[in-house]
Structure 1
Amino acid sequence: MDLLAVEGLAKSYGGVGAVRGVSFALAPGEVLALIGPNGAGKSTCFNMLNGQIRPDAGRIRLAGTDVTGMAPRRMAGLGVARSFQIAATFGSMTVRENVQAACLVHAGGMARPFGRADRRFRPEAERWLDHVGLLAQADRPAAELAYGDVKRLELAMALSGAPRLLLMDEPTAGMAPKERHGLMRATVDHARRNGIGLMFTEHDMDIVFTHADRVLVLSRGRLIAAGRPEAVREDPDVRATYLGGGLTFAAAPGRTEAVS
């Protein structure tokens, strides 16, 4: 059974179709990239998948359960985690405390607090910070982090809930190229080992073609291509609509391939 099945998803604003009849599926442990030019409908699609926006039409099924229009909190309870294009963390709290707070939410501790919150889930928080390379900064206020590190922190917070489905919106924005590949490699490896369905949007095509198992391409709200990265980057509609007639990208660490 597919982890995520999307059928005919649609959303319009003032008569303009932001997402129009999008259908796809995602298997456990699969890595799926959603790309397209600005305004293609990527964020709208993501916002419908985790309940931020209710679709006008279509169905979203998670492990066979219809979750269409379900509120984000209920989606999170079913194992859907989300990181945002503009990272959201608590700047006045330490890096560790941010992840501890996420652990408390996932465990229901915010509704039923007991004891000192800063003593709860400390080992778990540090394990996730180590996973994203932030353990050395655990005691720093989150407000002092560089933006790339804030994105790492947000990822640690999302992973702390052991999600079944992880939606990542521009996960490597603000990072140096080497850091981008390192973070994506660790995240992809974790998803595959644990059977987590991973879907992400990204403007860095090198990240997309290096780490995705499949790629979906949106243009003006419609899905114009879907398939393995090597097939999508050669698709004439993708080249004409999105990639401007050609594609080049720097080789990722350990990879020498280039396309022109």
Structure 2
Amino acid sequence: MNRRLAVENLQRAFGGVQAVRGVSFALDAGEVLALIGPNGAGKTTCFNLLNGQLRPDAGTVRLDGVDIVGLPPRRIWRMGVGRTFQITATFASMTVRENVQMVLLSVHRRLFGLWTPAASGFRDEAMALLERVGMGAQAERPCGVLAYGDLKRVELAMALAGDPKILLMDEPTAGMAPGERQELMALTSSLVRERGLAVLFTEHDMDVVFGHATRIIVLDRGQLIAEGTPDAVRADPKVQAVYLGGAA
């Protein structure tokens, strides 16, 4: 077992609303862990606590045994926590390749200017990542003209450019057609095997969750109510009552 992330008693309130209440879980290398729950369950807040966008009121978040609570998001990113977002975050006027190159330049702390344009840096490395996610043929197209499913692949390549140990994926298949959803998650699973990644993702499509997660944790009103294999979670009466509509 190679434990990448250990979360203990995580708590965060907004005024009188307790968004995350005493949440604890672990994430190992090679694991694809789904975090699910109804709207307002605290999933995105939990994500924001893990990568430093929010600071918890209490609890610890340990990355490879090191407590990262209080560190800024950029520092946590450099320690190996990558993230994709529900709404894709790319530079629309730049090409697909240039978007990935910008991340690589940041990773390697390279500056560019009049004599060293960004387009010349880490070109081969960017192309290799784009080929891996199936976007090599569209490398020279501006991101602003891409279909949404293709943007999701570009964002995945950008996240991989940071060479993460852990990848947080917030609604990775939102806005995608059913076939695209399955393809993206199959790609993610293959990257987990190749790179020894640990993936934590949120998702509303239960076909995606039960088809690709190795383990599932379920939140309701900020609290962890179930954890286990897909089969165990599907059969859990509490999960059926609050999230799956009572159907096994």
TM above 0.5, yes or no, is yes
Change beyond 3 A, Cα 1:110–1:38: farther
1:16-49 CA-to-partner distances (Å, cap 9, x unmatched) read 1000000000011111000011110000000000
Residue 180 in 1 paired to residue 164 in 2? no
Aligned equivalent of 2:208? 207
Matches within 5 A, 1:135-150: 135-150=136-151
- TM superposition shift of 1:116: 2.2
Aligned equivalent of 1:27? 28
Structure 1 unaligned regions, length at least 5: 248-260
Alignment RMSD: 1.5
- TM superposition shift of 1:143: 0.8
Q: Matches of 1:110 and 1:210 in 2, distance apart?
A: 42
Residue 88 in 1 paired to residue 117 in 2? no
Aligned equivalent of 1:221? 222
1:82-134 CA-to-partner distances (Å, cap 9, x unmatched) read 11111111011011100011111111114899722101111111111112221
Extract structure 1 runs of 4+ deviating beyond 3 A. Answer: 110-114
Q: Matches of 2:129 and 2:115 in 1, distance apart?
A: 23
Identical pairs, percent? 61
Aligned equivalent of 1:37? 38
Q: Could you tell me the TM-score, scaled by structure 1's length?
A: 0.92
Residue 244 in 1 paired to residue 245 in 2? yes
Q: Matches of 2:91 and 2:111 in 1, distance apart?
A: 15
Matches within 5 A, 1:1-260: 1-110=2-111, 115-246=116-247
Q: Matches of 1:175 and 1:125 in 2, distance apart?
A: 24
Contact 1:148–1:173, Cα closer than 8 Å, also in 2: no
Instruction: Report SS of the residue matched to 2:235.
Output: coil
Q: Matches of 2:154 and 2:223 in 1, distance apart?
A: 33
1:4-26 CA-to-partner distances (Å, cap 9, x unmatched) read 00000010001110000000000
Q: Matches of 1:48 and 1:172 in 2, distance apart?
A: 22
Q: Matches of 1:36 and 1:87 in 2, distance apart?
A: 22
Q: Could you tell me the TM-score, scaled by structure 2's length?
A: 0.96
Q: Which deviates more, 89-98 or 106-115?
A: 106-115
Structure 2 unaligned regions, length at least 5: none
